[in-house]
Structure 1
Amino acid sequence: MSYSINDLAKLAGISTRTLRYYDKCGLLKARRDPENNYRYYEEKEVDQLQKIMFLKLFDLPLAQIKQVMVSSQKQQLVTLQSQRQKLVNEQKRLSDLIISLDKTLEVMKGKTQMNDVEKFTALKAQAIVDNEKKYGKEIRSNYGDETIDASKEKFCSFSEKDFNHVEDIKKQILIELRPLVGNLDVTKAAAQHLFNLHQKYLLAMWPTGQYSSKAHKGLANMYVGDARFRRYYEEGTGKKDAAKTLKAIIDYYA
């Protein structure tokens, strides 16, 4: 079956402008009617558009999608299977979160009780959701999906003691960072102790073997380059250049 550009746009729920752009950049080439030069699409293009739209769901840049689309059928299958697994993982995460939230609501209504293990599970799930919302796109872009998913898996395996331990480290980092902002001498013991503390936090949070000097410095660059990270350290210390100070310490010792 053939579709005009208007018909395909309606079918897919996208604009004709988007289809024209895909055509122009070579992502989805339209066929041309030899009599009037109008764009039209056959089943092959419809299938390609479906794949493109699936890949867009995962915020892949168009340049990367284009690379996938010109790859072999086998490679496209591998890519889509990988994206499917991410959906399955996300579905499980959301399902667990809904279950936990429902239990919390029942407790608030006085209809049931939630034990400490259930409360802690809900706390970890919410922490993962919050972190993904705030920083997910940036950290995935810098470190890759596999690394971030492995880190999340490690976090999910934390015991309550592990969880409280990393939370205490986060708080202590802010406490020790505050007096160094505007008064930094990276050679002083306080600066080195803060670096060791931050490194300890990363070793606790990151998958085994992930830590490196380069990765640590890369994270420090994100701290100063992203307004959300800067805001976290500014609000946590009450000092404007907190992220910049922490970066200077990491750059010196990492």
Structure 2
Amino acid sequence: MQTYLIKQVAEMAGVTVRTLHHYDQIGLLSPAYIGENGYRYYTREELLRLQQIMFFREMDMPLKAIQRVMASAEFERLQQMKLHRDKLAQNVDRQRELLTVIDRSIAELNGDIKMNNEELYKGFSPEKQKAYQDELVSKHGGQMRDKVENSNRKFDQDAQAHTGGEAGLVNERMEQLKQIEGELILMMQAGKAAHDAEVLDLIARHHKWVGQWWNKQPDAQSYAGLADMYKYTPDFVTRYERLADGFTEFLVDAMKTFATEKL
């Protein structure tokens, strides 16, 4: 039976030795045995268990939840692998849709095509959008829920605002957002601080833009809460960092400064 030292397992899996020690401490993954020399030895069985843990982690499952699932009498590796595969296949399909949206968006920016409103948002996960909204509500209570619901209703109404084949308010407002973010990025890259007066003037436009969707201008608490959501939600961070490195932190700092000083 072949065995592996903890350092070898860490290198194979691309994790740290400290991570494996932690998994052992919480009872999630222990070595097959510890030798008289004090070394930890892992076998193929532990490697497979670690793979399963990493699949769960890739799905953003907390360690405590992973412990519960893997400790369950109903846990069966083959069944879990099939579930993982189904989940990954769904993600692949969604990523393909998003790539199509990106490609068509690039084509529109080049002047080759014109996307309709529905195409703008194809591929985005409704479940994730709801999770983002629920996160705001959990932090700021029922008042935030009302704002989110009003925003959703207004979005649905605006998305239907087509006249004579022309794009409705959704396209117009997304263009407004693109302009605001673009100017903020230029300010950031020019070395302006998040609390600079010119930056806060742009943030005032962003604040007003958010209010268009909420049907009410955000107060200091809710606008700062929105900034926190941008900061701690991976999809938002990914979006802003694709626009420009460091833009997430810059935008969040500017929004919070605006909330404190102007609202």
TM-score (norm: length of structure 2): 0.50
Query: Hey, what's the Cα distance between the residues in 1 that align with 2:22 and 2:134?
Result: 24
Q: Deviations over 1:64-108 (max 9, x none)?
A: 111122223655554444443332222111111111221232343
**How many residues matched?**
185
Residues 193-252 of structure 1 deviation map (CA, whole Å, 9 limit, x = unaligned): xxxxxxxxxxxxxxxxxxxxxxxxxxxxx99977535999xx7xx877xxxxxxxxxxxx
Distance 1:127 1:35, change over 3 A: closer
Matched, 1:174 2:214: yes
Kindly report which structure 2 residues correspond to 1:1-254, keeping only aligned pairs within 5 A, or say none. 1-72=2-73, 74-110=75-111, 112-116=112-116, 120-125=118-123, 131=129, 135=132, 138=135, 160-161=159-160, 174-176=214-216, 228=228
Question: C-alpha displacement at 1:23, in angstroms?
Answer: 1.1
8 Å Cα contact 1:97-1:122 kept in structure 2: no
CA distance in 2, matches of 1:137, 1:82: 26
1:223–1:229 CA contact under 8 A, matched in 2: no
Structure 1, unmatched stretches of 5+, are: 143-157, 183-221, 241-254
Alpha-carbon distance between aligned partners in 1 of 2:107 and 2:169, rounded to the nearest angstrom: 29
Cα offset, 1:123, TM superposition = 3.1
Inter-partner Cα distance in structure 1 for 2:75 and 2:161: 42
Q: CA deviation at 1:131?
A: 4.3
Percent identity among equivalent residues? Answer: 28
Q: Distance in 2 between matches of 1:162 and 1:65?
A: 46
Shift of 1:137: 9.8
Q: Is 1:69–1:76's contact at 8 Å kept on the other side of the alignment?
A: no
> Is the 8 Å Cα contact of residues 5 and 19 (structure 1) preserved in structure 2?
yes
**3-state DSSP of counterpart to 1:20:** helix
Q: For 1:40 and 1:136, locate their aligned partners in 2 and report how far apart those are by CA, in whole Å.
A: 46
Report deviation, 1:5. 0.8
Post-superposition shift, 1:10?
1.0
Structure 1 position 174, deviation (Å): 3.3
Alignment match, 1:214: none
Q: CA deviation at 1:25?
A: 1.3
What is residue 196 of structure 1 aligned with on the other side?
none
State the 1:4 CA deviation: 0.8
Give unpaired runs (5+ residues) of structure 2.
Answer: 140-155, 163-167, 174-209, 231-250
Q: Work out whether residues 31 and 40 of structure 1, in 8 Å CA contact, stay in contact via their aligned partners in 2.
A: yes
Q: Distance in 1 between matches of 2:101 and 2:53?
A: 34
Change (3 A) 1:25 1:122: same
C-alpha separation in 1, matches of 2:18 and 2:134: 26
8 Å CA contact 1:33, 1:40 repeated in 2? yes
Secondary structure of the residue aligned to 2:60 is: coil
AA at the equivalent of 2:25 = K
Report the aligned-residue RMSD.
5.0
